[in-house]
Amino acid sequence: MREDTRQWIEGDQARCWHPFTRQAEWCARGHEPLVIVRGEGSWLWDSEGRRYLDGNSSIWTNIHGHAHPVINAAIRAQLEKVAHTSFLGSTHPLAVELAERLCGLFPAGTLERVFFSDDGSTAIECALKMALQYRQQTGAPERNELIAFSNGYHGDTLGAASLGGVSRFSKGVLGNGFPVRHVGSMEELLLLGSEKLAAVVIEPLIQGVNEMRLWPAGMLGELRRWCDETGVHLILDEVMTGFGRTGEMFACQRENVIPDFLCLAKGITGGYLPLAATLVTGEIYDAFLGTADRAFYYGHSYTANPLGCAAALASLEVFEQEQTLARLPEKIARLASGLAALKSSQPLIHEIRQCGFIAGIELRRPDVVKFPPNERFGESVCLTARSYGLLTRPILDTLVIMLPLSSGFEEIDHAIHAVAEALGQ
Ligand SMILES: *Cc1c(COP(=O)(O)O)cnc(C)c1O
């Protein structure tokens, strides 16, 4: 190991604290975390000069590859002007342009306003708070309950975490958290009385953290119709699915659904900078007009950060220049056929779950029984895949393959090959 690598690792182990990480293991002697020093396209390099395919798009964020010249140039150009100014009491050109572009991705008269924040969790917090405040300001304060789906994931701030249905992420620290009712399916939802409900929140088409489990086809459309009939608002969490991951620009477009609130983050800047947006319909927005006490009391210091907006606008530009969406179907097909071949040759693969360019590979013992959790089998497969040039993380024993949308056939094949080699070991 190079001397500088050793120093970075020691320094990290002495002072840094990583998300969702068992720090005792992380800091143990002999644990050698990768020190990532550079990226280009779908590839990342570590401080030892080794190259890895970014198999989970740097935790589901990257869209057009790393160090993309168009996005880099846009950030640089804005940096020469000003890095950050407040969105509280003033505005700036790129936020205006980005808000127009985002609304322009939906039919006129639907999603018409953009509230900026910093990340997926805050985009969700905004939607929740707006949904509840909306009821107070429209004469229906009794509609103060929120519904979320079991095993869903919506982020880690307290409100977003209370929505989440994956208990290992809150570990009971929240107690009962913020009051949310959880349902497992559309059928269960239909059994609930809707009079007290403000809104229902869902990850459309696919639940990411729930080991990439897909909703039944048609379910989202059915949910929209139910919301229309009951007057319950629909909040879509497209933090993972947004910006092309599912093959459409947004997952909701697959079932021709327009939500009342749309939460976007992760891929919005192409995966470059933290920025998020909560889009709402004109109807929601209008309830916040009028007397001063009707303002939406919420905001963060870096709201609508100009560098983030520059990256987001450049990312939308690249979608057009590179015809990203038009080129996706053949990549999605290549991934599907590669995974099918992999499954037929690998007895440890229980199920492949794919939604557009997102794939989960669930591993089980050949007798279909799950591996004991403390074996951390998925983790050890990912660690082995690293030595074949693939960087990704599992969710329990489900391996995630979520490449940047700009990845080519060779890169798709490389990812599958690395998983095959790792499983072979
Ligand atoms: C990642 C994620 C979030 C949280 O976003 P952060 O930027 O990590 O706060 C929320 N919802 C979904 C579906 C996600 O995948």
Q: In which element (H, E) is residue 18 found?
A: none
Residue 121 Cβ contacting ligand 1 at under 6 Å: yes
Q: Which pair of structure tokens corresponds to residue 122? A: 């805050």
Residue at 81 is within a domain: yes
- Measured from the CB, is residue 118 less than 6 Å from ligand 1? no
Query: Is 24 within a domain?
Result: no
CB distance 240 to ligand 1 below 6 Å: yes
Does one domain contain both 169 and 266? Answer: yes
Residue 4 lies in a domain: no
- Of ligand 1's listed atoms, the one at least distance from the Cα of 124 is 10
Q: Indicate the residue type of 425.
A: Q
Greatest CA separation found in the chain? 66
- Residue 14, domain member (yes or no): no
- What pLDDT does 416 receive? 98
Residue 337 and residue 317 share a domain? no
What is the pLDDT, as a whole number, of residue 173? Answer: 60
State which of 276, 295, 321 marks the end of a domain: 321
Same domain, 216 and 238: yes
Cα 260 from Cα 87, distance rounded (Å): 24
Q: Is the CB of 208 under 6 A from ligand 1?
A: yes
Name the domain count of the chain. Answer: 2
Residue 313 lies in a domain: yes
- End-of-domain residue from the set 321, 348, 379: 321
The reply to whether ligand 1 has any atom less than 6 angstroms from the CB of 255 is: no
8 residue type, one letter: W
The protein residue with its alpha carbon nearest to ligand 1, atom 10, reads 154
Cβ 202 under 6 angstroms from ligand 1: no
Residue 293 confidence (pLDDT): 83
pLDDT at 96 (0 to 100): 98
Q: Which atom of ligand 1 is nearest to the CA of 120?
A: 5
Q: What is the CATH number of the domain that holds 214?
A: 3.40.640.10
| Mutation test residue for ligand 1: of 239, 252, 264, 275, the one with most atoms within 8 Å of CB | 239
State which H helix or E strand residue 417 sits in: helix 409-424
Are residue 363 and residue 309 in the same domain, yes or no? no
pLDDT profile of the chain (425 residues), mean per 10? 97 97 95 97 98 98 98 98 97 98 98 98 97 96 96 94 77 66 95 95 98 98 98 98 98 98 98 98 96 89 98 98 98 98 97 98 96 96 98 97 98 98 95
Structural domain contains residue 406:
yes
Burial class (CB in 10 A: 0-12, 13-18, 19+), 105: middle
Task: Based on the fold, state whether residues 181 and 330 are members of the same structural domain.
Answer: no
Q: Which of 269, 287, 321 is the last residue of a domain?
A: 321
Residues 174 and 255 in one domain: yes
- Write a three-state SS string for 165-219: CCHHHCCCCCCCCCCEEEECCHHHHHCCCCCCEEEEEECCCEECCCCCEECCCCH
Could you identify the atom of ligand 1 that is nearest to the CA of residue 121?
9
Within 8 A by CB and 6+ apart from 61, the residues are 266, 267, 271
* pLDDT for residue 382: 98
351 shares a domain with 217: no
Q: Indicate if ligand 1 lies below 6 Å from the C-beta of 394.
A: no
Same-domain check for residues 332 and 316:
no
Q: Is residue 12 assigned to a domain? A: no
* Token reading at 134: 């909306």
Ligand 1 centroid, distance to 293 Cα (angstroms): 30
Which bin fits 267, alpha (ψ -120 to 50), beta or left (φ > 0)? alpha
Q: Of ligand 1's atoms, which has the minimum distance to the CA of residue 265?
A: 7
Q: Is residue 157 part of a domain?
A: yes
Of 128, 153, 170, 262, best ligand 1 pocket probe by most atoms within 8 Å of the beta carbon = 153
Instruction: Please report the pLDDT score of residue 70 as a whole number.
Output: 98
Q: Residue 140 Cα, ligand 1 centroid: separation in angstroms?
A: 30
Asked if residue 271 has its Cβ within 6 Å of ligand 1, the reply is: no
**Closest of 387, 379, 381 to residue 46, by C-alpha:** 387
Q: What is the pLDDT of residue 172?
A: 60
Instruction: Give the pLDDT of residue 391.
Output: 98
* Residues 153, 301 within the same domain: yes
User: How many angstroms separate the alpha carbon of residue 223 from the centre of ligand 1?
Assistant: 21
Cβ neighbours of residue 147 closer than 8 Å, sequence gap 6 or more = 180, 181, 182, 183, 189, 192, 197, 199, 200, 201, 232
List the domain range (segments joined by +) for residue 335: 34-64+323-424
Based on the domain organization, do 292 and 368 belong to the same domain? no
Question: For position 51, which CATH number holds?
Answer: 3.90.1150.10
* Backbone angles phi and psi of 100, in degrees to 5: -65, -45
In a shared domain, residues 205 and 235? yes
pLDDT of residue 118: 97
Q: What is the 3-state secondary structure (H, E, C) of 231-289?
A: CCEEEEECCCCCCCCCCCCCHHHHHCCCCCEEEECHHHHCCCCCCEEEEEEHHHHHCCC
For residue 38, what is the enclosing H or E element? strand 36-40
Q: Is the CB of 148 under 6 A from ligand 1?
A: no
145 and 266 co-located in one domain: yes
